[in-house]
A and B are shown apart, each in its own frame.
Chain A
Amino acid sequence: MLTTWLEPWGRALLFGAGYNTSLVTLGAMILGASAGMIGSFILLRKRSLVSDAVSHATLPGLTLAFILMATLWGDGRWLPGLLIGAAASAAFGLWAVQTIRDRTRLGEDAAIGAILSTLFGFGVVLITAIQSMNVGGQAGLTGYLVGATAGMLASEATLITACALLLLVAVFVMRRAFLLVCFDADYATTRGLNARHIDLIMLMLLLAVVVIGLKVTGLILIVALTIIPPVTGRFWTDRPLRMVAIAALCGALAGYLGVTLSSVRSGLPTGPLIVLAAFLLFAVSLLFSPRRGIVATLAAHQRFKRRVHLRQGLLALARDDAIYDDLTLRVLRRRGYIRRDGVATPLGASAARDAEHEERLWALYRNRYPDEAAQLDHQGLVPINSALPPDTVITLESDLQRIPGSVQ
């Protein structure tokens, strides 16, 4: 049973499952990469929900285009026509959201909710109408809801791949302008960028990704491809363009896994499988990312705890206080700061002196600049040189020497 699944999947993974499947796989990967890239900028601009509105708003245009083509030619399944219809109604939805946000007191989220449900509802009504029509290919329309790559024509796959590639290049060209606007739109304006135009280009590229992705993931799930990979990327890096690159990689990987899996059996929906693959990558990152993953956070907490104990132990040594805490004693002993009987070694004595000196500097800093000090994380636990600019430290050092009674 398992081998009957694994064998064709393996063939698909190695691009050996026929020309069409390979082309679709490649297209889905490029689509995933562009969705991840543009999605990252949308996430950084804090407008992720907009992609939800865009995708749902495609349905009425899609169905209207189908009805129009069906009445004219008797068959409404011509992909470019459907995509143009979808793009037009998505653009209308986007325009409506922007107008509600700009002209009324409603926020963008409320506008998105209103437009998304209305247009999607309208589209569902139209689908019902189509089903009562006497034309061919109505069944194919549900493929646009959850994605269906299995029976895709070579011409359709080529179109999707070419458009996705074009989008990828467009996002790459615009990356620095997008970044500038995402971080600080006002500053971007002073550098001669028109922030409104850049925002518009960003949304147009998002719209294009959604529309091109309709046949691959379906309109309900394309959102996942523009949100999950960027969030996954955020786990692995603190640098903006690296986050975009990682998101592109995750999107491509999700597309690759999803399409190849769905090719194993006819009737397996592509969209859900792509989303599940994207989620798998997200879950792995959530657990194991070295920066923000759950495991790393727990380890960092343990390290932090040891650092607190080390510092407290050293200060106690400097003041000749007795130490009772087990962990403190263990930490000091492991570093060679105390002997087995709890007496400080020469190394420990000098470390204790350093710690006490730092503690004085920090105390002086807290005293001088209370507001600043309140903003800094765990002051006193990191070397003061790595936490404050050198000129500040020099001022503190010289001030400390002038204070009468300070032991130097």
Chain B
Amino acid sequence: MNAALDPEIAASPLAVHGLTVSYGRKPAVYSVDFVTPPGSMTAIIGPNGAGKSTLLKAALGITRRLSGDVRVFGKPYAEQSRHVAYVPQRSSVDWDFPATVLDVVMMGLYRDLRWWQLTRRRHREQAMQSLSRVGMEAFAERQIGQLSGGQQQRVFLARALVQDAELMILDEPFAGVDAATEKAIVEVLKSLKARGKTLLCVHHDLATVRDYFDHVLLINVRRVAAGRVDQAFTSAALQEAYGGRLSDVQLARIICPAAHLTQRA
């Protein structure tokens, strides 16, 4: 792939080509190509063990990849990491860590602080501002171990917001959070999209794909389908990705949620 020549890849906040990751001999992700459209809100969808999180982690350089190429705005990730904000799964950290909510959000400012600098009021205000965007400013001094699951997720989102990056990558942000938090997070994500940012999100709830996202990437180790939701998010593609595990009723509910709702009403 010659990234310098392909304008689509040069403009994309995250383009992966031939990405393969393997745990032992078993490939978790096999030769996946995907070019994230700039300004899109893309859901990565697939059954359990389909390699959704692995794909993201390999793209971000967390998991070592066996082969493949990752480009952020046409350049390797290592040069462009300031453009990317990552929201990991809640379970990835030890919540007994001695830190307050504000401490965690301030970690998002890592690149703005040189080693001789102490944290200033300006940084603290920046962090408080992004906390207020997720409705958590009253919790700034709270020890992180005292938060509920939804509140932890909000804090992680605030840490990513403070980075003010062009691309935000989220790993199952709605897993195990309450409905109010889900709504709050979706609102923040949509406001980011309105400001021209790109969002890429591992998502597990098929019923909300149409409401939240405009693009999808369906994978099951290999890429199954990708594109706009109305074109790629079809029952045929879903059946292929999920290996025929979805019933017709489930499919109808997912593909046409509006029809389902009117039916129930």
Question: Are A372 and B57 within 8 A (Cβ)?
Answer: no
Residue A320 lies at the interface, judged by CB distance under 8 Å to chain B: no
Nearest-Cβ distance from residue B223 to partner chain A, whole angstroms: 23
The answer, yes or no, to whether A377 is at the interface (CB within 8 Å) is yes
Chain B 16-44: CB-based contact to A (< 8 A → 1; otherwise 0) = 00000000000000000000000000000
User: Size range of the interface on B?
Assistant: 35 or more
A183 and B104 contact, Cβ closer than 8 Å, known pairs A189-B62, A389-B136: yes
B51 close to chain A: CB less than 8 A: no
CA distance A333 to B247 in the complex (A): 63
> For residue B88, which residues in chain A have a CB less than 8 angstroms away from its CB?
184, 186-187
CA distance A191 to B77 in the complex (A): 10
Q: Taking CB as reference atom, which chain A residue is nearest B115?
A: A173
Interface residue from B84, B135, B176 paired with A190 (Cβ < 8 Å): B84
Q: Within the complex, what minimum Cβ distance (angstroms) separates B183 from chain A? A: 8
Chain A interface residue count, Cβ-Cβ cutoff 8 angstroms: 40
- Answer whether residue B179 sits at the interface, using C-beta atoms and an 8 A cutoff: yes
Is the CB of A175 closer than 8 A to any CB of chain B? yes
In whole angstroms, what is the CA distance A376 to B145 when docked?
10
Question: How many angstroms between the C-alpha atoms of A239 and B55 in the bound complex?
Answer: 34
Stretch with Cβ within 8 A of A (4 or more), from B91-99, B203-211, B229-237, B252-260:
B91-99
Is B194's CB within 8 Å of the partner chain A? no
Is B15 positioned at the interface, with any CB of A under 8 Å from its CB? no
Question: Considering only CB atoms, which chain B residue lies closest to A185 in the complex?
Answer: B62
- The residue that A240 contacts in the complex, of B78, B99, B179, with Cβ under 8 A, is B99
Q: Which of B94, B100, B113, B138 contacts A386 (CB 8 A)?
A: B138
Nearest B residue to A394, CB-CB: B180
The answer to whether A176 and B113 touch (CB under 8 A), given A190-B60, A191-B81, A386-B138, is yes
Do the beta carbons of B180 and A389 come within 8 Å of each other? yes
Given A239-B103, A240-B98, residue A191 in contact with residue B111 (CB < 8 A): yes
User: Counting chain B CB atoms within 10 Å of each CB, which of A371, A372, A377, A391 scores highest?
Assistant: A372
Pick 16 A–B contacts, CB within 8 A, sort by A.
Answer: A172-B115, A174-B115, A175-B115, A186-B86, A186-B88, A190-B62, A238-B100, A238-B143, A239-B100, A243-B98, A371-B149, A372-B148, A372-B177, A389-B134, A390-B138, A391-B183
Interface residues of B (CB under 8 A from A): 57, 60-62, 78, 81-82, 84, 86, 88, 92-94, 97-100, 103-104, 107, 110-111, 113, 115, 134-136, 138-139, 143, 146, 148-151, 154, 176-181, 183-184
